[in-house]
Amino acid sequence: MTSEAGPGPQYDQLIQDIAAYVYDYQISSPKAWIDARVALLDSMACAIESVPACSSFIGPISEGTIVPNGFPLPGTSHVLDPHKAAFDLGSLIRYLDHSDAFPGKEWGHPSDNIGAILPVADWLSRKGDDKITMELVAELATKAYEIQGCLQVRRTVIGSWLAPADNHALQMKNAFNEIGIDHVILVKLASTAVLSKLVGLTRDQANAAISQVFADGQPLRLYRQAPNTSPRKGWAAGDACMRAVHLVFMTKSGQPGFPTALTAKKWGFYELFWGGKEFVLPVPFKTNVMENHLTKLVTAEGHGISAVEAALQLAGQIDGRLDDIQSIHIRTQAAAMTIIDKTGPLHNAADRDHCMRYMVALTLVKKDWPEPKDYENDSEWAVNPLIEELRGKITMAEDPQMTKDYHDVRVRNCANGLTVTFKNGEKLAETLVEKPIGHPWRTDTREGTKTKFLKLTAGVVQDPVRVWDTFMAAELASVKVRDWVDQFVPKTSS
């Protein structure tokens, strides 16, 4: 049953503001357009890398299903409907923790949204809508990044975009993790908002679709935290993408929304989950998140990457002396203490790649960057007694200044410092990395992302160098989505 449109209460202001940004804002930043291209290419590389790890659950729900105009899942022979494609692509991009990230009191992975945007855009493109180009995909990706990222932060807008609010300037504010809700609620919200424009909803329908997100059930953060850390943290984003597609299509079918989904007394989101307070948001949304997200060049939880980089710097210095180590102390930020401060048994890959001590010990013993296989149960490192011994010698503690510098957008550190003490009393000077590899302000990030793309797509893409270089230089308005996606079909496929 559908409901006829009629006069009624106005939608909550936040809902209207999100829809207005998606429908009205014109992206003028050249850097944002360039960074969106890189983000799309990087996401495809991450998806292709994850195919073997996700082979048990990707593909059609019913074997042999034929989908006209279906989405060809990168790195596979699967052709899928938009709903399952969103689940699969969102899961593939995120699964190995190699996808991009954006910091805040609520850490998030904005490329998760590409899992929802690209399959729907491709499906529309294959149906013959030539207005669906990679320019539109890049625009919607940029806006989804911004919506998700801005809901993680508190900031005061002055002049170009930001200025300090107080002595603890620009601190991240909206922490869903503090009330136990997983951050993929923001993926569902951002994806629903931009998909509304993609599929041609009216402005009022977009408001309705966005309101559906807040009326929806939200997943618990349970699966990211000890003692229940599990592989679901890898496919939670895919689940959010699929849900966004479903809510948008339900709205397109005529289902009404909930004007006071946030502010309704007793039953609204704010009163039920937020203590009756409202989200603290920047005004207006721009393109900051696309231009300032972290590119994951290492398969490690983001708050630990600088510790891994510091450990790699230390590895040569202490080579041959690992047995003589008395202790390793990690000076870190509050977010790392919340997310990856883990002791005791590690039960699966998801446990290990969210354990600071394991990542550091692995790097010191291996003397190289971690790879996805290094976290698996059957990895030689997972059962290495020296790694377990080193884990037991590692301590972690928050440095409030590191936390402050993590939240301050003028600094944007995600720092870790490692101090090694030997049994004979010798203590090495701290090895400190403030802006880890892949940081948006590091000059080696763009080239590192290209190298990552070439490595991860080499077995699938016919000419990875050409694909990268062509897309970076292309007039996006002339690139049809279906043609771009077809480049990521395995070489052996017809």
Could you read off the pLDDT of 435-451 as tens digits, one per residue? 999 999 999 999 999 99
Distances (CA, A) of 279 to 137, 217, 406, 460: 28, 18, 21, 43
- Give me the pLDDT at residue 8, please: 66
Contact 188, 144 (CB under 8 A): no
Reply yes or no on whether the pLDDT at 154 is more than 50: no
Q: What's the rounded Cα separation, in Å, for the pair 416 and 307? A: 5
- Give me the pLDDT at residue 31, please: 97
pLDDT in tens, 274-327: 888 888 775 579 999 999 999 999 999 999 999 999 999 999 999 999 999 999
Reply yes or no on whether the pLDDT at 173 is more than 90: no
- Give me the pLDDT at residue 7, please: 56
Q: What's the rounded Cα separation, in Å, for the pair 169 and 162? A: 10
Answer yes or no: CATH 1.10.4100.10 is held by domain 13-292. Answer: yes
- Give me the pLDDT at residue 152, please: 73
Query: Which CATH fold topology does 302-433 show?
Result: 60s Ribosomal Protein L30; Chain: A; (3.30.1330)
Which carries the bigger pLDDT value, residue 178 or residue 118? Answer: 118
- Give me the pLDDT at residue 106, please: 66
Mean pLDDT of 246-267: 97
pLDDT in tens, 94-104: 999 999 999 87
Reply yes or no on whether the pLDDT at 33 is more than 50: yes
Parse the chain into domains and list their residue ranges.
Answer: 13-292, 302-433
- Give me the pLDDT at residue 1, please: 42
pLDDT in tens, 470-493: 999 999 999 999 999 999 999 764
- Give me the pLDDT at residue 165, please: 35
pLDDT in tens, 135-149: 999 999 999 999 999
Mean pLDDT of 247-274: 95
Which carries the bigger pLDDT value, residue 10 or residue 283? Answer: 10
What does the mean pLDDT of the chain come to? 91
Report the relative pairing of strands 431-433 and 79-80 from DSSP bridges: unpaired
In the chain, % of residues over pLDDT 90 = 82
Reply yes or no on whether the pLDDT at 469 is more than 50: yes
pLDDT in tens, 220-251: 989 988 789 899 999 999 999 999 999 999 99
Structure pTM? 0.89
